Amino acid sequence: MQTIAETSMMGGTHRVFRHDSTATQCSMDWALFTPEQGQPDSVLIFLSGLTCTWENAATKAGAQAAAAQHNMAIVFPDTSPRGADVANSNDYWLGQGAGFYLTATQAPWAPHFAMDRYITEELPMLINTALDMDISANGMGITGHSMGGHGALTLAMKHPHLFRSVSAFSPISSAMESGWGQNVLPAYLGDDKAAHQAHDATALMASHGWGGDMLVDQGLADDFLDEHLKPHLLAKAAENAGIPLTLRQHAGYDHSYYFVASFMADHVAWHASRLTAS
Amino acid sequence: MQTIAETSMMGGTHRVFRHDSTATQCSMDWALFTPEQGQPDSVLIFLSGLTCTWENAATKAGAQAAAAQHNMAIVFPDTSPRGADVANSNDYWLGQGAGFYLTATQAPWAPHFAMDRYITEELPMLINTALDMDISANGMGITGHSMGGHGALTLAMKHPHLFRSVSAFSPISSAMESGWGQNVLPAYLGDDKAAHQAHDATALMASHGWGGDMLVDQGLADDFLDEHLKPHLLAKAAENAGIPLTLRQHAGYDHSYYFVASFMADHVAWHASRLTAS
């Protein structure tokens, strides 16, 4: 793992790493903010949305300012495999920049698109190396925006020993009921409905549940709200499953990082309190 | 003046405006953050650097989070005239994206490059309209990054009735001693040294001075420090002129918005205390 960029920020350090991924079979970049003390009290992964790389959240979300106050490290992975050898499409919701945090079984995606394994199997080891600590002791928090909110919710419910806290910003609340998801799930996974359900946050509320609470923020001026995000489905499933989900809906806020940055400090504090409460 | 984008953020409102500029004779965009109460207690202009538009600072600097805490409005202008009819160059330090906050007298720049008049004559009226208030009563603060730091320092010293507080992030401290400036000043202004001095922050310290104090932050891992920025020239000139300049130099910090965002809250608080102390 190479360090390809490094600078001080917020009293801590921002670094960008590059490595050959076994999960995605290509070169991957990810960014890490380490607070001033070096050994953080907690670690939070931020999963980005469609078209993003690690850079959108690292530059626009204001996460590091909040993390510095809580002695928290923040991890910013990429959203998909990338490269000339990696399949792609002309649609922004499919292919490079649109990994959907799943393992594709269908051609031409199967050889590289395995972002769930990348995040849950490979990245934790890389984080251990970069931080020189064993994050399995305390676990991590996970959050994300849009497709990354979908990723945070679904990966947390399926990997509760790895993720001890979960929140989301304007997540795709049900991939199966999302316009994006309805295009993407068959392309990556074929027509097997059980495979689709395994990557649907609303379905996972019933099948897997979650042992803690959840925080979701949603802007009500979000152009993708009705067709792609549908937080009411998640809220209903949480209610049915008895999972304490706080869904905050904000009038006037859109889908941009202006929205994410507006509530990031709340999410960082929320994760910090849960990750350091042991 | 058209509103081309609007969303809530940080409890306030982010808007982007478009208008036909009389100063630059082209269509110009600028962004404004208005805090929750609507009528801000103070107004701060942030001038961006080479290659930037209003968007870099508005999305990456974290200024709005700090401004919201001080009931401050923040104005993000563009860095130059733009458009197919506007002269340009292949060098990133000259032409579109590189207005240098001066009025060009030389061809092919003269018809459009008048960013000093845009910022000091036209923009204040637009701000009054957008905020529905008279900013001449309290004046404004001005700050900026790199070329925008140069702009903030030089415009403040020449327009002290308009700008009541001034600070800068890694400014071009002497345009005449900067590699960028040595290319740009002759192109925009010809060979008249007096014209160059009128746009050199270090020279203006002696010729115009400043009635208050100044805050400058500089990263010591900034790749442009020695060739283009040279804050020691500004510090020496301030000392000679008896102007209380606080120059903070930060080991490990580079020229990026990671640096700007790291110290933005300090600058916003610093301006707020000076602008609301009347």
Q: Which of residues 168-227 of B touch A (CB under 8 A)?
A: 219, 221
- For each successive 10 residues of chain B (278 residues), what is the average pLDDT? 97 97 98 92 97 98 97 98 97 98 98 97 97 87 98 98 97 98 98 97 97 98 98 98 98 98 98 88
Smallest CA–CA distance from A251 into chain B, residue: B8
B261 at interface of A, judged by CB pairs closer than 8 A: yes
Q: Three-class SS of residue A249?
A: strand
Closest CA to B274 of B123, B174, B156: B156
B255 in catalytic set: yes
Q: Using CB atoms, pick whichever of A9, A258, A265 lies closest to residue B261.
A: A9
CB within 8 Å: A7 and B254: yes
Spans of chain A, pLDDT less than 50: none
Q: How far is CA B233 from CA A3, A102, B1, B204, B243, in A?
A: 34, 55, 40, 12, 13
Subunit contact A9:B221, Cβ cutoff 8 A: no
Q: Which residue of A has its CA nearest to B221?
A: A7
Token duo for residue A178: 């999302």
Q: Which domain holds residue B162?
A: 2-275
Residue A16 makes CB contacts below 8 A (sequence gap 6+) with A3, A4, A5, A6, A29, A30, A31, A32, A54
Model confidence, pTM:
0.95
CB-based contacts of B135: which residues, under 8 Å, 6+ apart? Answer: B43, B124, B127, B128
Total domain count, chain B: 1
**Rounded CA separation B113/A77 (Å):** 41
Per CB-CB distance under 8 Å, the chain B contacts of A254 are: 7-8
Which CATH number is A6's domain given?
3.40.50.1820
CA distance B162 to chain A (A): 30
